[in-house]
Amino acid sequence: MKIMNLKNNIRVSILMLLLLSMISCTEDEGLTKIDLEAPSNIDATISIEQDNSGEVTFTPTGQNANEFFMNFGDGSELSDTIAAGETFKHIYAEGNYDVELFALNIADEITQATKPLVVSFLPPENLEVTITKFPADPLSVNVSATADNAAGFEVTFGEMPDETPVSFGLGDIVSYTYSSVGDFEITVTALSGGEATTSYSETITITDPLVFPVDFESATVDYTFYNFGGGESAGVPIVANPDPNAVNDSETVASYTKVAGSETWAGTSTTLSAPIDFTNGTLIKMDVYSPQAGVPVLFKIENGLDNTIFVESQESTTVANEWETLTFDMSALDLSTTYEVLAIFFNFNTAGSGETYYFDNLRTASAVDISLPLRFEQDAAIYNFIGFGGGSAAVIANPDASGLNTSSQVVRQNKSSGSQVWAGVVTDLTEKVDFSISTTLTMKVWSPTANIPVLLKFEDPNDPNTFVETTSIVPEANKWVEVEFDFAGADPSLNFGRMAVFFDFGTAGTGADYYFDDINYSGKAIEDFEGTAPAFIVFGNIDPVEVVSNPNPTGINTTSQVANLTKTAGSETWAGALFEVDTPLDLDTFSKIRVLTHSPTSGIPIKLKLENQDASVTHEVDITNTVANDWEELVYDFSGAPEADYMRIVIFFDFGTAGDGSEYYYDEIKLVN
């Protein structure tokens, strides 16, 4: 290889001259020394004419490379030097070759790479294609191929109708990321030096990424779990919710069966498409439906590349055949690393017996609860308000603990003098606003000026373009009043986890202080008797309860239909009626029940009683009415009710007095706070 030695000698001489020049400049002129990086990532696209001519075109590439030359590997002379972006052409006889690429930077530093080349005029045979998908990036694929007599390959990925094939060589891997989900046909064509080609096609399915939170409701996410320790082939089927309740009323959930005879450590696992984001808190909540109470559930998260980096937490179920939320403490995690793998072990340390568990709604949470209802009674430091446009806010002692609001702490919001008309504050919640509970919210406010607008806005923390907002007017000044915000049409499936408040929206700031407190759902309807009537059960020898036209559609109740209870003459002192609701009453979110009543007599006790399904747990509250022959709102406080799934609502008019034939009406039964 005399020519090669000559080229090397020339380049070494040039490099020495350049080095001497740089030293001279450094000593004589004080110029800053320049460090040049050697060429790297040297490669070449290889294409061969399919006309039996043996002509091959090389297009070299590389980082920090501005010139290339080649050893074609067939005993011919070294090529001339070309600039980056240009190509080499060479005629080959049939055979297998190792071609050498040489890349130079401006200092003539050389980096060399070798690529295999097959020149054959026979058609390619035994084409084998490898298509790889990765759980951590479900939108991307890698493609590689091998074939006898093949000089190179072309691939199309099936996403565009007139797609330009991507060329790649022997030993190369081509990556592609899809812009949408669906089924796509990947076609790989093997090329040789002749006209004949060989192709292979395979249809793949691209799905949405599997990321936290996980709710099993999407039709385009691949919720694939892999079982271990037994039942490996079963996986985790996505099934209809076996028993929707207030804890979990979603349509679809995950189902895991711990098959009979499986290991004590049997469980199921999946790899997420992105690391779990713990900025919202280091707790993980999961809704669980277990056939038994007292079942230990171990939840484990691991680093996707190193399973020795993990955190695990164990909790036990407390109820059987009913949804509950288990909270796993992951505070021991290392925030400097990532966690993409999760594993769940039901009835940990006990061999499987064929029992089935359901789980749903995996999400992160904070040990600090900042969610509706917002009372602001916790440590003031945990509430982080960010001002904008000249607004600011902080939790302070209630400056006017009187009237409608005697709570200890409230939020003071300042709109500084000259601040923007849109000045306000924003804070992130630990749980999104659930508009399936109610699309109407209430807030207590205190303003130095009456008749000003207050704008309340909720948005997705990850997408500020997803939001809902509405305005309410403060009717009075210098006192606590309650205003209502109607978010009719808000989609409860969206992540409304960020809240913004704007006082006197549309007017520049004057330095005034405003206050707000007790942000909550205004209520959740239980029964309004406007649709199909519930199945009433009466007792104590009274006539059946009927749904009738409103006898007095005025004042606070102008609805069309109401319930009519006649306390028949001679009926028992404890006579009354009940009906059942479809799902347990949500006394965690709401502590009171409002009923509109209509009685011919004032000063009588009207009892409201709640019962669970078999009446083994009950709680009752008495209120004496004050209005006769008109509608009156009675609000029953059930904050002292013992924990239970209350399914029955029982009402007694003039409790303790035998019936005399009086007719009573009731309507608009609603959970409130």
CA dihedral 345, 349, 353, 355 (to 10 degrees): -30
Report pLDDT for 222: 86
Q: What is the mean pLDDT of the chain?
A: 91
The residue whose two tokens read 């923007």 is 420
Give the tens place of pLDDT for each residue, 131-176.
998 766 788 999 999 999 898 999 999 999 889 999 998 889 999 9
d(CA 55, CA 46): 11
Report pLDDT for 157: 96
* Mean pLDDT of all residues in 506-532: 94
Report pLDDT for 518: 94
Report pLDDT for 7: 44
d(CA 521, CA 440): 6
Give the tens place of pLDDT for each residue, 631-655.
999 999 999 999 999 999 999 999 9
Give the tens place of pLDDT for each residue, 541-561.
999 999 999 999 999 999 999
d(CA 363, CA 379): 24
pTM, two decimals, is 0.48
pLDDT-derived band at 206, boundaries 50, 70, 90: confident
d(CA 120, CA 641): 85
More confident residue, 367 or 222: 222
Report pLDDT for 3: 36
Q: Do 2-119 and 525-672 agree at the fold level? A: no
CA dihedral 375, 381, 382, 388 (to 10 degrees): 90
* Mean pLDDT of all residues in 66-87: 95
Question: Could you tell me the residue ranges of all domains in the chain?
Answer: 2-119, 125-206, 226-365, 380-521, 525-672
Report pLDDT for 135: 65
Report pLDDT for 35: 57
The answer to whether residue 27 scores a pLDDT higher than 60 is no
Domain 125-206 class in CATH? mainly beta
Tell me: domain 226-365, CATH 2.60.120.430, correct? yes
Domain 2-119, CATH? 2.60.40.10
The answer to whether residue 6 scores a pLDDT higher than 80 is no
Q: Phi and psi (nearest 5°) for 273?
A: -80, -15
Secondary structure of 554-623 in HEC code, one letter for each residue: ECCECCCEEEEEEECCCCCCCCEEEEECCCCCCCCCCCEEEEEEECCCCCCEEEEEEEECCCCCEEEEEE
Domain 525-672, CATH? 2.60.120.260
pLDDT-derived band at 14, boundaries 50, 70, 90: very low
d(CA 271, CA 307): 12
Report pLDDT for 379: 86
* Count of positions (residues) in the chain: 673
* Mean pLDDT of all residues in 526-549: 96
The answer to whether residue 366 scores a pLDDT higher than 90 is no
Domain 380-521 class in CATH? mainly beta
